[in-house]
Structures are given as structure tokens and as C-alpha cells.
Structure 1
Amino acid sequence: MVNRRGWDIAILGAGIIVAVFAVLIYDEGTPGEQAVSIGSVAAVVLAYLLLARHEIGEDPPTWRVPVFIVAVSVAVGIGVSVNPFLAMLQTIIYPLVWMITANNRQAIVGSALPALAILVGFAAGEDFSAGGWASGLVTAGFSLLFAVVFGLWIASIADSAEERGRLLAELTSAQDAVQALSRDRGAAQERERMAREIHDTLAQTLAGLVLIAERAGGQYRSGKADAAMQSIATVEAVAREALAEARALVARTAAVPAEAAFDAALERLVERFRAEAGLQIDLDSALDADVDRDAQVVMLRCVQEALANVRKHADAARASVRVAAMEGTVVLQVIDDGRGFDPLAPRSGFGLDGMAERIALAGGALDIQARPGGGTALRVTLPTSSAAHPAVEPA
């Protein structure tokens, strides 16, 4: 916003200086001529206070603008006719005209009127002689040219600043929109991650609890108390594991055993499925220490999902799990002798699709070889380091 107080000080100060110097320099003039000089300066200052000052700001110009231009033109023309030094009033008239007019065209026309008045004033002071016209033309012409050039330059700077402000506002708005989209996308990714986590941890564990509990009930009804007690002990152990998984999810950590040794965690996972499903599962794991934790987490999740599918769908008697690192990759194979399925047939479950998405996020590949009645072979290949890929399970 334009500071009117600053303009007040500038106009009043310039008016006083011009009036003082006009009287001192033109001391040969009659008292009446000096009074006209002072009156001309006062008229310009008064026109500013009554008219132009109200137009300074961001509101559209009103009737005061043309009245102000006419008033100061008459005042400066009369003043110059008795004292040529009053042409210095141009230094405050032109900036005011450019400040209060609506556009460049109005500012140029508004500046031309005071310049014409000064030209006539010079000519009148010299009794409209050729010399008077020449002096007026030089003074008014050069002043008007300077005012127009300088005004257009300042106006272009102001327009550029306004355009930059508009672009900055648009950029800020666009950034806000991008941030909102990023937050929405992050929330969606987090929901997907949590869905995978719940499916791969709590859902799998609870499904195992249901099977073990059903088996314990059947054993109890058959009079196999010892076997039922052993199954109940397994239920307790699996329930404690589910509790640990839930706590890990709440803490936003990987819901896997905390031990650094991948082989120990894998052995415990396989042993749980042996107890839950009564499967014979062969395990062969030879993983290098260079395989980072992200790849280990993905491998454990894939083993968990694959064995869960064997338990629920394959009706298999035997399965094997093989994990090995080779040439910058880690390879997982899970093979069963169950009834198989058609990998290309539509699926309603979330397990295999979630596994494929998890593997893809880690930069790996999933291959499933299966046919109805012929068992299933699942192969997962992952890079041994996540340095070239985003973290699979962000904190």
C-alpha cells in the first residue's frame, strides 16, 4: 500500500523549496509578481491536499484526477509566465500524475497538459516572442519526454512485480495442491502398507490359531487329552507371537522377530507352520550377512504368505523352503506337492497380489509355476541391497 504520509512530506517540502528559491532568484520582480509565484506554488500544494491525495492508493481513479490535472496546469502556467523558475514544479506534478492515473495512456495525456501550460507560460512571459516559444518548447518538451520515458520504465517494473506476485501466488497455490496430493498419496501408501502388514502378520497368525484350536477341540472330544494339551500350548505360544506382532505394528516397526539372525527367524517361522498344519517342511537357508534388513523382511513375508497358502489351499503333505544369495541377488523358492492351481485364473484373495506388490516395491521379481494337480513352485528374486530402491517398509 502507498504511504500517503511520505507523499505529504515530499510535496510540502518541495513546494516550500521551490517557493523560497523562486522569490530569492527572481528578486527583481515586483511584489505582485512574487505574490503570483508564491500563489502558484500554494495552488499546486493545495490541489494535492484537496484532490490528488485522496486518489493515492489502489482504488480506481475518480473525478478528482482530471480536476487536479487541470488545476495544477493552470497554476503552473500562470506561475511560469511571471517566473520561469516555477517550471521546477514539474518535478512534483509529473510523479503525481503517474501515481493517480489508471493506466499509461491516461498518465501520458495527463502529463502533456501541464507541459502545454508551461510552454504557454514561457511564451506569455516573453510576450509570445519566438524566443519565448523556443524556451518553453525546450523546457517543457524535454521535461515531458523525460517524464514519459521514466514513467513507462517505472510502470513496466511495477507490472513485472505484479506479474511476479501473481505467479508466486499461483506457484504457492500449486505447491499447496501438490503437498495435499502428496499427503493423500502417502496416506494411501500407508494404508496399503498396513493392510499388507495385517494380512501378513496378525491375519496369518489368527488363522493359524483357529486351525490349532479346532484341532485341539477335536483331540479333546476324541479323548486325546495329552495331544489336546500340547495343541493348547501351541495356541498359547502362537497367541503370544500375535501379541508381539501387534505391538510391533503399533510401534511402526517390522512385525518380524527382532533377532538379527535371519536363519533363526526363518526357522522359527517354519516351525510354527509345521505345528499349525502338520506339514513336513524341509528348510535350507544359506543367506550371506551382506543381505540388508529390507530384503530379509521381504523374504520372511514371502515365506509366511507362501506357507499360509500351502496350509489353506494346497492340501499338500510336503513342502520345501530354499533361500540362497548369489551374484548380488537373494533367491527364495517354496515348493509343495499339493493340488496346484491355475496362476492365470482370476483370484479373489489378497495374498499373492500383496506379495507381488511388496516384491515389486523392493525391486525384485516373482515367478509362480503351477498347474492343477501338479503342485506349486514359487520363486522370488531380490537385490541383496536396497540402496538402489526405496525402502520397502517405511518407518
Structure 2
Amino acid sequence: MLTKRGWDAIVSIVSAVIAIALVFLFPPATAARTAIALAAIGLFVVGYALIGRDAIEPPRAAWRYPAFLSVAAVAAGIGAGAAPFMAMLQTLAYPLVWVIGDSRRRGIGGSAVIAGSVFVGASFGYGPSLDSLLAGGTTAVFSLSFAIAIGLWIARIAEYGEERERLLAELTAAQTEVEALSRERGASAERERLARDIHDTLAQTLAGLVIFAERAGRQSREGQTDAAATTIATVEQVARDALAESRALVARTAAVPREPAFGAAVERLIERFREHGTARIALDTAGVQGELDREAQVVLLRCLQEALSNVTKHAGAAKVTVRVEVGEEGAAVLEVRDDGRGFETSRPGSGFGLEGMRERVALAGGGFDVASTPGDGTTLTVRLPPVPHDAHGEAVPLTSVTTDDAAADAVRMKGDPA
């Protein structure tokens, strides 16, 4: 919609063009009629400047519409009565009536008033006759029909624009709400990830520290000084591990090494559980043919650590078999089988371990399965999909496992993965 300045320019230019054409191209029969016609143009311009202009944009005073309509109707009627060419004044009167009226009802009603005024002026300006009545009626009917059609069309466009503006505002508000929800979701996911990290690293190490400390205290009370010293040395090492793990959670800066470091990390992790557990642990890596993506290494190490911890704490197993397979395309399988007491998989667990592993594997796009029967051992299987590659043949990281996870484990893999 045009602003006040836009309408100022239009009214000024069109009025000047009508006045010039009236004087030089289509002059009335007498100079008096020319003067009356010019006065009608002046009346219209003054009415616009004093009344109509301030009603172009809201807020609009209620009295301005009928006042301007009256002035415009009088100017158009007097002008059309003085000179037939003055019917051109309708080109200004009709759109201004629609803009200032600001509704379909007022636009149509105002257009009818302008058309009726022009009809009266054109029909009786040179004296009533059949020809003047026909000419005035034809002009009024066609101009009124055109004005109503254009006015309704423009009103529809204006309403469509307002509707789009409203929808855009609603969309913007919805996007803002979605962004807020995404931030909340991201914060929740980060809290869950930190919970898994703490459970898989510090919590397990500190739990082992408590166990070894209790053992050292019991051995000391029983006079087993050599055994107590050995246990104290183990406590010291586990405490150092806890310190390294806490630093890893904070640092998250080192890059994850490739396959050789992963294999060494797996062996060190198993060796740790061999030293401090009673079960015999066998490692089978004959199926390793390709390289693992660094995020896949993180997932498998976490799951292996949690599985061996569960075996040590709950299974009472005598033998554990760990099998790692890595395909040429990067697909990986981790299987941990024990001959322990087993459990009922249909019963919900009270711990975070299995559920944390399941969520971690799901985030990596893999599959997680636990098969167990009371008294017949447990088999835990983790399957990770092949590593995708981009157009240049470079491995694309698993998007659902964050780089922070990988960085933390990289620091850990330099020392001890447990």
C-alpha cells in the first residue's frame, strides 16, 4: 500500500495533468466553465490535503471518511457538470475512497456516491436531455463497475498480504519455540552423554577403588602386610587411572589413533580385568580385517568395558570369551560371552549399564542384543554398520557419536582404557 508521500505525488501529478489537459486540449465551451472546472480540481486537492491525507494510514479518525467523501463527490459532480473531461477526476476519487474507507462496504458505498455525483453533474451540467442522461449514465455505470472490481481485487490482495504477514509472524514464533526446544533437547542429550561417560569411566574406577581399599584394610587388620602392600599399590594405580579419566573428560582435545592403538587398548582393558578378576578371559581377534572409524572405536571400547565390569560384578563366571570382528568396509561386531549365572532378560534392570550401552550403540546406528538364561550364562553382542565414505573416499564420522566422546577416549587410550 502506498504511503502518504506516495499519494501526495500521485494527487499532485494527476491533478496537474487534468488541469493542463482541460485548459489546452479539452477546454469547455466558455471561460466560466473552465474556471469552475479548475476550482473543482482545487477543491479536491484541498480536501485531500486537509482531510483525506491524514486518513491514508491508521489510526483514522471516524469523521474523516464521510468528510472527504462529501468533498470528493461535490468536486467530481461540479467538475463533470462544468466540463465532460472532468470525469477524469474519478481516477483519483475512487482509489482514495477505497483507501480511506478501509473496508469493502465503505469502498463500494463511496464509489456509488462518486458515480452518482458524476452522473448528476454530467447529465444536468449542460441542461437535462436524453443524450446527456445517456452519456452521464453510461459514464457512471462503467466507472462504478470498474472501480468496484478494481477495489475488490486490491482489497483481496491487501488481505492476502496481511494473512501472509500473520502466518509469517506465527512461523517465526514457531521457529523460535522449536529453537528453544532444540536447545533444551541438546542440553538433555548432553546430560545423558555425560552420565554415560561418568558411569563408564569414573564411576567404575571409583567403585574398584573402594573395593581395593576395603581389601587392603582387611588384609592389614589380618596381618597380611605383603598382600596389603600389593593392594595399596593397586589402589594407587587405580587412583591414577581415575585422575587420568577425569582429565580426559575435561580435556577432550586429543585425536583418536587408528587401529593399532585400538587393538592395544582392547588388550590392556582385558588385561586389567584379568588381573583383578577371577574369570579367565580369552580374546579372539582373528576376524579383524579392516580399520575402525574412531567413533566406532569409542563405542566398542565403552561396551567392552561395561560388559566385563558386569561380568566381574554380577555373573560369577569362570570363563569369558571376547570376540572382535572388523570387516573390510568398517562394519564391526563385538561379542562377550560368559558362563556365569545369567539373568532373566525380560525383567527390568536397576542399573544404568545395559541401558547406557543400548543407547550408545543406537546413537551410532548399530544393533545391541543381550541373550541370557538363568544358570546358563550371558552373551552380549554389539553390531556397528560399515563406515560411510564421502565423494573423495574419506570416512564420514558417525554423526550420532560426538567428537567429544572420541577425544575423551583418545586421552584415555594413551594410558589405560579402563
TM more than 0.5: yes
Alignment of 1:107-122 (within 5 A): 107-122=107-122
Matching residue's letter, 1:290: E
1:272 maps to: 272
Counterparts of 1:21 and 1:322 in 2: how far apart (Å)?
99
Query: What is the CA-CA distance between 1:348 and the residue it aligns to?
Result: 1.0
2:369 maps to: 367
Query: What is the CA-CA distance between 1:249 and the residue it aligns to?
Result: 2.0
CA RMSD of aligned residues (A): 2.8
2:409 maps to: none
Matching residue's letter, 1:89: L
2:292 maps to: 291
1:334 maps to: 336
Decide whether aligned partners of structure 1 residues 298 and 29 sit closer, same or farther in structure 2, where only a CA change above 3 A counts. Answer: same
Matching residue's letter, 2:352: F
Matching residue's letter, 2:149: V
Counterparts of 2:207 and 2:253 in 1: how far apart (Å)?
22
> Does residue 7 of the first structure (1) align with residue 15 of the second (2)?
no
With normalisation by structure 2, the TM-score equals: 0.84
Alignment of 1:125-274 (within 5 A): 125-252=125-252, 260-274=260-274
2:322 maps to: 321
Alignment of 1:38-117 (within 5 A): 38-59=38-59, 62-117=62-117
Decide whether aligned partners of structure 1 residues 366 and 40 sit closer, same or farther in structure 2, where only a CA change above 3 A counts. Answer: closer
Counterparts of 1:384 and 1:220 in 2: how far apart (Å)?
52
Instruction: Determine if contact 1:292/1:386 at 8 Å carries over to the other structure.
Output: no
Decide whether aligned partners of structure 1 residues 391 and 218 sit closer, same or farther in structure 2, where only a CA change above 3 A counts. Answer: farther
Counterparts of 1:280 and 1:45 in 2: how far apart (Å)?
104
Decide whether aligned partners of structure 1 residues 275 and 140 sit closer, same or farther in structure 2, where only a CA change above 3 A counts. Answer: same
1:394 maps to: 402
1:354 maps to: 356
Q: Identity across aligned pairs (percent)?
A: 52
Query: What is the CA-CA distance between 1:216 and the residue it aligns to?
Result: 2.5
1:306 maps to: 307
Query: What is the CA-CA distance between 1:389 and the residue it aligns to?
Result: 9.6
Q: Deviation string for 1:313-340 (max 9, x for gaps)?
A: 2233443322224697433232334333
Q: What SS does structure 2 have at the residue aligned with 1:349?
A: coil
Decide whether aligned partners of structure 1 residues 235 and 112 sit closer, same or farther in structure 2, where only a CA change above 3 A counts. Answer: same
With normalisation by structure 1, the TM-score equals: 0.89
Matching residue's letter, 2:360: R
- Count matched residues: 395
Counterparts of 1:94 and 1:392 in 2: how far apart (Å)?
63
Decide whether aligned partners of structure 1 residues 260 and 180 sit closer, same or farther in structure 2, where only a CA change above 3 A counts. Answer: farther
Instruction: Determine if contact 1:51/1:64 at 8 Å carries over to the other structure.
Output: yes
Counterparts of 1:305 and 1:113 in 2: how far apart (Å)?
87
2:393 maps to: none
Counterparts of 1:54 and 1:167 in 2: how far apart (Å)?
29
Matching residue's letter, 1:70: S
Moved more, 365-374 or 83-92: 365-374
Decide whether aligned partners of structure 1 residues 114 and 362 sit closer, same or farther in structure 2, where only a CA change above 3 A counts. Answer: same
Counterparts of 1:213 and 1:230 in 2: how far apart (Å)?
11
Query: What is the CA-CA distance between 1:390 and the residue it aligns to?
Result: 5.0
Matching residue's letter, 1:41: I
Matching residue's letter, 1:315: G
Matching residue's letter, 1:394: T
Moved more, 105-114 or 369-378: 369-378
Query: What is the CA-CA distance between 1:115 and the residue it aligns to?
Result: 1.5
Query: What is the CA-CA distance between 1:257 and the residue it aligns to?
Result: 8.5
Decide whether aligned partners of structure 1 residues 257 and 206 sit closer, same or farther in structure 2, where only a CA change above 3 A counts. Answer: farther
Counterparts of 1:74 and 1:221 in 2: how far apart (Å)?
117
Query: What is the CA-CA distance between 1:211 and the residue it aligns to?
Result: 1.7
Instruction: Determine if contact 1:245/1:255 at 8 Å carries over to the other structure.
Output: no
Moved more, 99-108 or 236-245: 236-245
Decide whether aligned partners of structure 1 residues 392 and 175 sit closer, same or farther in structure 2, where only a CA change above 3 A counts. Answer: closer
Counterparts of 1:230 and 1:255 in 2: how far apart (Å)?
35
Q: What SS does structure 1 have at the residue aligned with 2:65?
A: helix
Matching residue's letter, 1:268: R
Q: Deviation string for 1:115-146 (max 9, x for gaps)?
A: 21112112212311112112222333332232
Instruction: Determine if contact 1:364/1:382 at 8 Å carries over to the other structure.
Output: yes
Moved more, 92-101 or 17-26: 17-26
Q: Deviation string for 1:343-377 (max 9, x for gaps)?
A: 22332111112122222333333333333343333
Moved more, 194-203 or 82-91: 82-91
Counterparts of 1:55 and 1:133 in 2: how far apart (Å)?
34
Could you tell me which runs of 5 or more consecutive residues in structure 2 were left unpaired when the two chains were aligned: 390-395, 404-418
Q: Deviation string for 1:171-221 (max 9, x for gaps)?
A: 222222222222222222222111111111111111112222222333333
Counterparts of 1:212 and 1:143 in 2: how far apart (Å)?
101
Counterparts of 2:111 and 2:144 in 1: how far apart (Å)?
7
Decide whether aligned partners of structure 1 residues 113 and 238 sit closer, same or farther in structure 2, where only a CA change above 3 A counts. Answer: same
Decide whether aligned partners of structure 1 residues 163 and 173 sit closer, same or farther in structure 2, where only a CA change above 3 A counts. Answer: same
Could you tell me which runs of 5 or more consecutive residues in structure 1 were left unpaired when the two chains were aligned: none
Counterparts of 1:288 and 1:244 in 2: how far apart (Å)?
31
Decide whether aligned partners of structure 1 residues 144 and 335 sit closer, same or farther in structure 2, where only a CA change above 3 A counts. Answer: same
Counterparts of 1:23 and 1:142 in 2: how far apart (Å)?
26
Tell me: higher relative CO, structure 1 or 2? Use CA pairs within 8 A at least 6 residues apart. 2
Instruction: Determine if contact 1:295/1:384 at 8 Å carries over to the other structure.
Output: no
Instruction: Determine if contact 2:365/2:385 at 8 Å carries over to the other structure.
Output: yes
Q: What SS does structure 2 have at the residue aligned with 1:393?
A: coil
